Structure 1
Amino acid sequence: MSDDTTDRRREAGVQTLSDPLFESSSSEAAPLPETDPQPDDEFWFADSDLILVAGNVEFRVYKEPLLLHSSVLSEMLDNKEAKSMQNASPQPDGGDCSKLLLSDPPDDVRHFLQGLFAGSVLRVGMIHPSYAELSAQIRLGHKYGVKQMVQSSVDYLQEYFPETTSPVKKWEFKYRFKPPGFQPIHAIGVVNLARLADAHSLLPASLMACASLGQELTKGFTRPDGTQETLPRDDLLRCVVGRAAWTKACTTASHKVFQRTISSDCIRRGKCKPVFDKILARLADAENAMFDVTFNASSAWTSHVNASDPDRVLCPWCYDMVGVWESGRQLEQATELLRRIPEIFGVSVSDSDERHVESKELTDSDDED
């Protein structure tokens, strides 16, 4: 058995308290259910040849497609069958139906299988997974070596937690930091999933999303299996320090956007300069104005311009110089802020291309087949 496979078999889903916890994932270490397992309502195919037992639930599925994608489960099953032959003992469940005991919560196993099989519930047109579904597929996909499942889930998250090299316009996406099936607090889970899957490109945006949570950041949230999901101490510290650093960076950027240097083509110099002073004063008085420039609010700087100058005293040339997200000073400063996010939140994205490399390896492997 390779070291890589051994490591994957030892890892389990992220169940974070103050630091991530990992449980054994071998079939031998799986706890026996306290009561007789019951067939799952969704994944129970009477003519199939593999039963997965998770807690008090049994999932009866087809062995071949599952083991085709999971070398880890395949090896676990081979080891179990080899031991059965050595002991000359029959399968406990009889017939040709193999059985594996898993240490994962039943809900997680169900979500994992949803990525591999069409069960009794058809998911036609369901393009937005819940956090619980996506989280389980990344954690169990990583644990059991189903790379395509992990990669597809990471790609989905990347649409809502963009890379800092993405165009500014992408950070204006309607559901930025919050996929339709997620709550804002789930950003904590995204950070943990990014760590687990080595998806470094997700970290800057997900840490930034966590930094905007407020007091609930330290409490985390409860997963369906009852475990508490919180940030490890180091990432919690990154969010606290990063929020202060980001506010400072936004303050500097705001002054650069609204500095009193008016446009060289200004036609109302005596009127435009006081408008810039008014805008800066408004920003200073707004309690969370600086942090609002985290792109949580659409066109935050433009909204301050319009609120401070409702009668549009500012001439067209000065207004254009200040710009909107796609032009002028705002574009310059927003682009610079995006570039600095990894530095501000203390993470390295030097490995952000790993997911693209892994995706290419999968494609090349498919071509060879």
Structure 2
Amino acid sequence: MFSAVTSLKTYLGFSSQTRPRKRARVSEDERPVTAVSLVKLTQDREFWLDDGNIVLIARDVGFRIYRGLLAAQSTVFADMFGSSNSTADEYYEDCPVVRLSDSPEDLRYLLRVLVPRSYRMFYRDNDKQPLSFDEISAVIRLSHKYHVADAQRQALSALKLYFSDDFSDLRGFEGHGLFLIKRSDAIAAVNIARLTETTSILPIAFYRCCELGTAVMDGCLRADGYIEHLSVEDHKICMIGRLALLREARALVFRIFQETSTPRCLSRRICRSALHTMLVRAAVEEAPLEPAVFRDWTPFTDKQADRLGLCRRCRRMLLGRELAVRREIWGRLPEIFGLYIFGWGVDDSGSTSEPSSNW
């Protein structure tokens, strides 16, 4: 029989579902477990149940919980606990001890899903604070590691609200309000997509990484103090994609503000002059220096249209033109990063997001 630590390495370190290290830089789970004296053990305030029958140790924090409840939800926990129950080398208050390589913060997030107490993690009402990205990320990584399929599926569904494959959800990253997220979390989202093979997350996650500029090199600081970085391959994808997006952003200005008024224009001479002026100002004063191809140009368009006397029909034409161009770029987003995502750019009606030639 394996010891608790050997069992952990056997079942977790060489899982057939784990991608090679070079693809996802979430390697803190592979670091050796550091032995902590049980005398110095800190009992977790949230998950130290007096009648629990097994103690999980993450770094110097102990979690006393119910072995059967976790084993019923995870085959990995079931195998680990079965081994530790028969040949445990350590006991704490008559409970077998299993040492884990996870951080106490990550383990606590997972236990809030598997052993909910005061609230259920994926349920929120108006009185609850939004979840953090760290919570969602930890649940995905640990539920993948311990084979808790339902928890992983729920957490990935939450993540896809921000890193969506639907053009209509594009603004959700900034203002969805369901959980707290910072810009650098896009780095962790790429790693999660690689870990779980959820490719639909990758295009918008890479796009958000490109928006970070050189800050992408700093990585993403997690709540447990670990810093995630992109793999070498994914960093190369990000840099190549950023250059392509910069070219797209510059061309987008000329595509939107081209000097062609609508055939139903109410004042052709004035509108053509206004469109010319808008194009010059957009290209010079608003020259894209960042790869923000999904920037909303409506404030600029409204301000300039009022100032230059653009008729209401040409104004509507500009707004439609901008939407069409952004949809077309959205449809090519996977291609820009060298990816192929089946079904990307197809809306609910089954039509592609490419613009009509008749703007």
Q: Name the TM-score, length of structure 1 as normaliser.
A: 0.78
Matching residue of 1:110: 108
Provide the aligned C-alpha RMSD in A.
3.2
- Structure 1 residue 314 corresponds to structure 2 residue 319: no
Matching residue of 2:297: 301
> 1:266 Cα shift?
1.5
- Structure 1 residue 348 corresponds to structure 2 residue 340: yes
Q: Is the 8 A contact 2:199 2:341 kept in 1?
A: yes
Q: Is the 8 A contact 1:19 1:233 kept in 2?
A: no
- Structure 1 residue 230 corresponds to structure 2 residue 229: yes
* Residue type of the alignment partner of 2:72: L
Q: Is the 8 A contact 1:43 1:60 kept in 2?
A: yes
**Alignment partners' CA distance in 2, 1:317 and 1:202:** 38
Return the structure number with greater relative CO, CA threshold 8 A, min gap 6: 1
Q: Which consecutive residues of structure 2, in runs of 5 or more, have no partner in the other structure?
A: 1-8, 345-359
Matching residue of 2:71: 67
User: Relative to structure 1, is the Cα distance of residues 229 and 277 closer, same or farther in structure 2, using a 3 angstrom cutoff?
Assistant: same
- Structure 1 residue 31 corresponds to structure 2 residue 55: no
Q: Which consecutive residues of structure 1, in runs of 5 or more, have no partner in the other structure?
A: 353-369
Residue of structure 2 aligned with 1:54, choices 29, 35, 58? 58
**Alignment partners' CA distance in 2, 1:223 and 1:157:** 16
- Structure 1 residue 280 corresponds to structure 2 residue 272: no
Matching residue of 2:99: 101
User: Relative to structure 1, is the Cα distance of residues 122 and 351 closer, same or farther in structure 2, using a 3 angstrom cutoff?
Assistant: closer
User: Relative to structure 1, is the Cα distance of residues 202 and 178 closer, same or farther in structure 2, using a 3 angstrom cutoff?
Assistant: farther
> 1:18 Cα shift?
11
**Alignment partners' CA distance in 1, 2:41 and 2:142:** 21
Q: How many residues align?
A: 329
**Alignment partners' CA distance in 2, 1:330 and 1:281:** 16
> 1:340 Cα shift?
0.8
* Residue type of the alignment partner of 2:314: C
> 1:264 Cα shift?
1.0
The 3-state SS of whatever aligns with 1:162 is coil
**Alignment partners' CA distance in 2, 1:155 and 1:342:** 20
- Structure 1 residue 144 corresponds to structure 2 residue 142: no
> 1:212 Cα shift?
0.5
Q: Is the 8 A contact 2:113 2:151 kept in 1?
A: yes
**Alignment partners' CA distance in 2, 1:346 and 1:178:** 31
Show CA shifts across 1:87-127 (max 9, x none): xx8x73464x3321111111111111111123467866347
User: Relative to structure 1, is the Cα distance of residues 18 and 272 closer, same or farther in structure 2, using a 3 angstrom cutoff?
Assistant: same
- Structure 1 residue 267 corresponds to structure 2 residue 270: no
Q: Is the 8 A contact 2:55 2:92 kept in 1?
A: no
Q: Is the 8 A contact 1:10 1:23 kept in 2?
A: no
Q: Percent identity?
A: 28
> 1:245 Cα shift?
0.8
- Structure 1 residue 155 corresponds to structure 2 residue 151: no
Alignment of 1:12-27 (within 5 A): 20=25, 22=27
The 3-state SS of whatever aligns with 1:118 is coil
Matching residue of 1:364: none
The 3-state SS of whatever aligns with 1:289 is coil
Q: Is the 8 A contact 1:177 1:187 kept in 2?
A: no
Q: Name the TM-score, length of structure 2 as normaliser.
A: 0.81
**Alignment partners' CA distance in 2, 1:183 and 1:78:** 40
* Residue type of the alignment partner of 1:47: D
User: Relative to structure 1, is the Cα distance of residues 119 and 10 closer, same or farther in structure 2, using a 3 angstrom cutoff?
Assistant: farther
> 1:9 Cα shift?
4.5
